[in-house]
Structure 1
Amino acid sequence: MSSIDALKPSGPKAKSPATMKGPGLFLAQFAGDAAPFNSLDAICGWAAGLGYKGVQIPTWDTRLFDLEKAATSKSYADDITGLVASHGLSITELSTHLQGQLVAVNPAFDDAFDAFAPAAVRGNPSARQAWAVEQVKHAAKASRHLGLTTSVSFTGALAWPFVYPWPQRPAGLIETSFAELARRWVPIFNAYDEAGCDIGFELHPGEDVFDGVTFEMFLAAANDHPRCNINYDPSHFLLQGLDYLSFIDIYHERIKAFHVKDAEFNPTGRQGFYSGFQPWIDRAARFRSLGDGHVDFSGIFSKMAQYGYESWAVLEWECCLKHPEDGAREGAEFIAAHIIRVTERAFDDFAGTAPDDARNRRLLGIA
């Protein structure tokens, strides 16, 4: 069976309906130099006060977290766990989005992405890549020390400059790029396997893996590695015109994390999905705070519950209009209101009867 066939729904669902955890908050967009956003202790207190139950930690922000120390010191990891728990919170996942981006960078973006790396490796793509790989592997070990079973990241991109097929792509270009992307990631997947941790990729324009088809291509090139999974974020799918509800039907077994982020698409006679190089506020396709966009979250939360997703619903706040603190406050309420507490019994159990094989056979006319 091919990797694509394996992703198609067939037969009974592998998991029963489940109630997910949340709300969680991705801290990356809120961390800063001013209190309460400049330390893990203070930002956790702020998040808990808004009603959050978990925090997703950006591993590149040393104001909040020391990734290498968490990978090498179980006692440090225990201290972090205890600090977060002191606010009534859990750690949902560690994020290596920026480091994952640097695992694969097309030369066209070398200068732009150098800012994600420490000064010592800037201007040196091979050294930068080696640093990024080590960082993502550190996150596997740190996750194990923290008792986490999922981490979230980006794949990086080699083929992205060729996303639109003009000029015509040379034969074999895309196959070569995905083979190379998998060659770089498989050793990282193996490190995650040793740590007992999945890695969920945010399928995002700018990455080579940005939709279902490209995820299938990557998965096939990585020999269906069990640690290669998805961080589901519907905002990126709405802005591509992808059916984000059917996506859950197809890929639910690979969805290990969930970014709850809204978006809207308002095409005009002047611009569409690509939005004409406009700033975010002037784009037809743009991100919004939860509840202000076009994403059908009632449908999403229903499907995630149906397919037994029981991990975290984590707000990733991005909006070109609303103040982030208002978005965070409203986001906690929005997620809490959408989480479905799964029923433990059928609604028509009151009319049920006890098992009776003889009666069943009579009803079916079986001698």
Structure 2
Amino acid sequence: MVDLAFSTNAYTRHALPEAIDRIADHGYAGVEILGDKPHAYFPNFDDADEGDLIAALDDTELQISNVNANTATGYYDDAPPSSFFDPSVITADDDDREWRIEYTKRAIDLASITSAPAVCLATGRPLPGTPPERAHEYLRDSLDSILDYAEDRGVSVGIEYEPELLVECTEEVLALIDDVGRDSLGINLDVGHAAVYGEDPAEAIRQSAGHITGVHLEDIVGGVRGKHYHRIPGEGDLDFRAIFDALDDIGYDGFATLELYTYPDRPDEAAREAYEELSAYC
């Protein structure tokens, strides 16, 4: 049976403990922690912040579905939209790439301390001057270090594929998992990313059976090959009955996390409406 969670990345105008309290008020069983500014940007996330997080989890009895380490916008004083993933685990500069590896390890630490099952990680974009073949070498080397660290702490790492990133579809992430050959590496499957790439999300779920560390949910206007803009379920064209049937078919019993960062001005409304739309499927 799938449990619903909600990501704090919709609550970027609220402190992390308040975001958790609000998410609990809407009936969710889990919460995804944004591993970035303004919630858990790890260079600034100290023992006091960790204590506040644990207290909020204890008060609400929410479980953490995932630590979302896809972006590191806190790295920039004024993050440009095109640089949300940089520095990434495929960045050519050795120091910047190592910074991102260590950042991901801090996300794994938080997952371990809070009993979260997984951390999600985006590959980033292969920037000019870094051909895909070299980028894949950087990715493999980065994952070797990250997975060694994660395995020692009992945490899985889910690659979240996305159009225009180095790993951008189900076929490519499954090929990466097969190439790496480690059980700790899986997929944080975002149904909207599958759809805008041109895949059937339900079929992507079935193809990924046995490898899914977590699921991100949002609606997409236009369905397959629609516009990549996260909508509240029911406001787009995705077939959530088919998506939840596919999760049931493969025996997935983890969290499905609503990722509605596009609603920072009305996160409570987004959380409430999404829960009302999807709770019948769980």
CA distance 1:324–1:146, change in 2 (3 Å) = closer
State whether residues 313 and 335 of structure 1, in contact with CA within 8 Å, keep that contact through their aligned partners in structure 2.
Answer: no
The corresponding residue for 2:39 is: 64
State whether residues 215 and 257 of structure 2, in contact with CA within 8 Å, keep that contact through their aligned partners in structure 1.
Answer: yes
State whether residues 201 and 231 of structure 1, in contact with CA within 8 Å, keep that contact through their aligned partners in structure 2.
Answer: yes
Q: How does 1:74-93 map to 2 (within 5 A)?
A: 77=50, 80-93=53-66
CA distance 1:140–1:286, change in 2 (3 Å) = closer
The corresponding residue for 1:329 is: 272
How much has 1:180 moved relative to structure 2?
2.9
State whether residues 93 and 152 of structure 1, in contact with CA within 8 Å, keep that contact through their aligned partners in structure 2.
Answer: yes
Which amino acid is 1:248 matched to?
I
State whether residues 265 and 286 of structure 1, in contact with CA within 8 Å, keep that contact through their aligned partners in structure 2.
Answer: no
How much has 1:204 moved relative to structure 2?
0.7
The corresponding residue for 2:177 is: 219
Q: Deviations over 1:39-98 (max 9, x none)?
A: 22222222222222221111222x43363687x96x975653332220232222211011
The corresponding residue for 1:113 is: 83
How much has 1:309 moved relative to structure 2?
1.1
How much has 1:176 moved relative to structure 2?
4.0
Given candidates 231, 235, 238, the residue that maps to 1:295 is 238
Say if 2:7 is the partner of 1:21: no
State whether residues 186 and 211 of structure 2, in contact with CA within 8 Å, keep that contact through their aligned partners in structure 1.
Answer: yes
1-structure distance, mates of 2:105, 2:67: 12
CA distance 1:319–1:78, change in 2 (3 Å) = closer
State whether residues 179 and 221 of structure 1, in contact with CA within 8 Å, keep that contact through their aligned partners in structure 2.
Answer: no
Q: How does 1:347-358 map to 2 (within 5 A)?
A: none
The corresponding residue for 2:101 is: 133
TM-score (normalised: structure 2) = 0.83
2-structure distance, mates of 1:205, 1:265: 16
The corresponding residue for 1:14 is: none
2-structure distance, mates of 1:154, 1:183: 15
CA distance 1:77–1:308, change in 2 (3 Å) = farther
The corresponding residue for 1:30 is: 11
Say if 2:151 is the partner of 1:193: yes
3-state SS of paired residue (1:288): coil
Count of residues in Structure 1 that have an aligned counterpart in Structure 2:
272
2-structure distance, mates of 1:294, 1:69: 39
CA distance 1:66–1:292, change in 2 (3 Å) = closer
Which amino acid is 1:48 matched to?
A
CA distance 1:55–1:182, change in 2 (3 Å) = same
1-structure distance, mates of 2:172, 2:266: 34
State whether residues 223 and 237 of structure 2, in contact with CA within 8 Å, keep that contact through their aligned partners in structure 1.
Answer: no
1-structure distance, mates of 2:138, 2:85: 23
CA distance 1:266–1:310, change in 2 (3 Å) = closer
Structure 2 alignment gaps of length 5 or more: none
Given candidates 188, 201, 205, the residue that maps to 1:244 is 201
2-structure distance, mates of 1:138, 1:284: 33
Q: In angstroms, what is the RMSD of aligned CA positions?
A: 3.3
2-structure distance, mates of 1:315, 1:66: 21
State whether residues 31 and 63 of structure 2, in contact with CA within 8 Å, keep that contact through their aligned partners in structure 1.
Answer: yes
How much has 1:155 moved relative to structure 2?
1.5
Given candidates 26, 50, 53, the residue that maps to 2:26 is 50
How much has 1:318 moved relative to structure 2?
5.0
The corresponding residue for 2:251 is: 308
Say if 2:137 is the partner of 1:179: yes
CA distance 1:304–1:111, change in 2 (3 Å) = closer
How much has 1:234 moved relative to structure 2?
1.2
3-state SS of paired residue (1:177): helix
Structure 1 alignment gaps of length 5 or more: 1-18, 103-109, 118-123, 163-172, 268-272, 274-282, 340-367
1-structure distance, mates of 2:261, 2:81: 24
Which amino acid is 1:213 matched to?
E
CA distance 1:143–1:215, change in 2 (3 Å) = same
User: Which has more radius of gyration?
Assistant: 1
2-structure distance, mates of 1:64, 1:211: 28
CA distance 1:323–1:78, change in 2 (3 Å) = closer
2-structure distance, mates of 1:98, 1:284: 21
Which amino acid is 1:97 matched to?
N
